[in-house]
Amino acid sequence: MIDAAVVKQLRLYVEQIAYAHKSTNPFHNFVRSCSVSMGASKFLSKILDQPAETLNDRVCLTNPLTQFGVIFATLVYGIAHPGVPNSVLVKENHHLASKYDYKDIAKKHALDVAWEMLLEDTFDDLRNVLFATPADMTKLRQIVTVCIMSTDIYNDKLKEARDHQWDTAGPSKKEVFQDQHGNFECRPNARTLDSANDGGCNDDVNGGVGDSNVVKKRGDSVDGLLHVMIPELRANLMMEQIMQASNILHTMQHWHVYQKWNRRLFEEMYLAYEMGRDPVDPSTGWYEAELTFFDEYVIPLAREMDKYQVFGVAGGECLSYATKNRKEWAVKGMDMVRTYVQEITNEDQVVGGATGARVETTANASQDIIHDDGEFDEGASTCTQEA
């Protein structure tokens, strides 16, 4: 039984996370983070609900700290989002851009803000429950970092690396080695361990977690390459895939859910254009960009989810909805973009400014989430649940 003081601190921490989000953002706000968090929770449950014999390479996802880390990442990765792309912050020479070496600015800042809050004296009891040892705190930071950085969907090098890791981790009777640059190499399995699985989990060289009962010994070196456990690699990849899928889950749900969040993202980008922060009018290329996004990221990710069956039947559901949404957007998208612009323009005229109506709407929605004790509908499918 968790002590009442710990529960109180957890509630307070989540409330502070909520207020740390910018309610002026139509898209990157606490409502959105809660939606992503609910999606991740459902994906985790889909994995853990599968038959025990299929969980041998997913045993570390049963670790409470790992599960907490995934949900923690989804809840905090939108904290203090500037409401503009990183490219705008770089052009503006924003102080956050220089602080984070002009890369992954918003994500790194969100992680730092969330972590600094967690380390406040106010949450001593909460930390004592979360972290039995200092190593647990380090592990959680690593898990959250892996998850948050996995949402950098425009980094081609990271995407290529993940694709290679999935190919590497797929076969069950191979060994994986990693060189000093982080590159993976797959070799035939030379020898295995016969010891019984103790169910333990260890930190991955990349900051993840993994099963202790695997081929060879963790950390063995062959030809100058560090031996990496295949289940470790799979656990990392599954955590990343949960985060990636949850991050864009609206594209793989019912059409009306996709419409809602697509419009909000457009609104946020259009607001940046109206304010003169982003020189690009998003309406000029939004239709084509959405089609490209479906073709090059959403549908390939959904196919990968369906192919590896990591999420059970949810992978097929996501692929089905993504394909349907792409087809419907191809037919209706151009008219919808024109409608977006007209609606936003009308809102601006009503309130006499570019932000008033949006501020009120998102702020009120955030407050509703903070004080809502309702539970996520466990009976609903991940892909059909209203985000």
**DSSP code per residue over 198-265:** ---EEE-TTS-EEES-SSS-TT-EETTEEEE-HHHHHHHHHHHHHHHHHHTGGGGS-HHHHHHHHHHH
CA 42 to CA 362: how far, in whole Å?
24
**Are both 146 and 1 inside the same structural domain?**
yes
Q: How confident is the model at residue 156 (pLDDT cuts 50, 70, 90)?
A: low
**Are both 142 and 2 inside the same structural domain?**
yes
Answer whether residue 371 is part of any domain.
no
* CB-CB neighbours of 384 under 10 Å: 12
- Owning domain of residue 321: 252-350
Q: Are 27 and 268 in contact (CB under 8 A)?
A: yes
pLDDT value at position 63?
Answer: 84
Tokens of 370: 């903070």
Task: Single out the residue in 141, 156, 171 at which a domain terminates.
Answer: 156
CA 271 to CA 57: how far, in whole Å?
45
Residue 176: pLDDT over 50? no
**Are both 17 and 146 inside the same structural domain?**
yes
What is the rounded (10 degree) CA torsion for 188, 194, 195, 199? 50
pLDDT value at position 289?
Answer: 97
Q: Read off the pLDDT of each residue in 192-216 and give the average, rounded to a whole number.
A: 35
Sign of CA dihedral 294, 298, 302, 303: positive
User: What is the CATH classification number for the domain harbouring 95?
Assistant: 1.10.1300.10
**Are both 27 and 152 inside the same structural domain?**
yes
pLDDT value at position 153?
Answer: 73
**Are both 266 and 141 inside the same structural domain?**
no
Q: Read off the pLDDT of each residue in 121-133 and give the average, rounded to a whole number.
A: 95
Find residue 202's DSSP bridge partners.
210
Q: Are 387 and 261 in contact (CB under 8 A)?
A: yes
Answer whether residue 211 is part of any domain.
no
Residue 362: pLDDT over 60? no
pTM here is 0.77
Answer whether residue 181 is part of any domain.
no
Task: Single out the residue in 139, 156, 173 at which a domain terminates.
Answer: 156
pLDDT digits (tens, 9 = 90+) for 20-32: 999 999 999 999 9
pLDDT value at position 59?
Answer: 61
**Are both 12 and 141 inside the same structural domain?**
yes
Closest CA to 21 of 364, 386, 363, 387: 363
Task: Single out the residue in 138, 156, 174 at which a domain terminates.
Answer: 156
State the total domains in the chain. 2
**Are both 20 and 140 inside the same structural domain?**
yes
Answer whether residue 101 is part of any domain.
yes
Q: Are 13 and 118 in contact (CB under 8 A)?
A: yes
Answer whether residue 381 is part of any domain.
no
Closest CA to 236 of 262, 258, 211: 211
55 vs 239, which has greater pLDDT?
239
Answer whether residue 242 is part of any domain.
no
**Are both 1 and 112 inside the same structural domain?**
yes
CA 359 to CA 361: how far, in whole Å?
6
H or E segment to which residue 186 belongs: strand 184-188
The SS3 of residue 382 is coil
At which residue do the structure tokens 């008033």 appear? 356
pLDDT digits (tens, 9 = 90+) for 41-72: 999 998 888 766 565 556 667 788 989 999 99
Residue 334: pLDDT over 80? yes
Answer whether residue 194 is part of any domain.
no
Residue 227: pLDDT over 90? no
* CB-CB neighbours of 115 under 10 Å: 16
CA 155 to CA 152: how far, in whole Å?
6
**Are both 148 and 2 inside the same structural domain?**
yes
Q: Are 299 and 322 in contact (CB under 8 A)?
A: yes
The dihedrals phi and psi of 132, each to the nearest 5 degrees, come to -70, -30
Answer whether residue 212 is part of any domain.
no
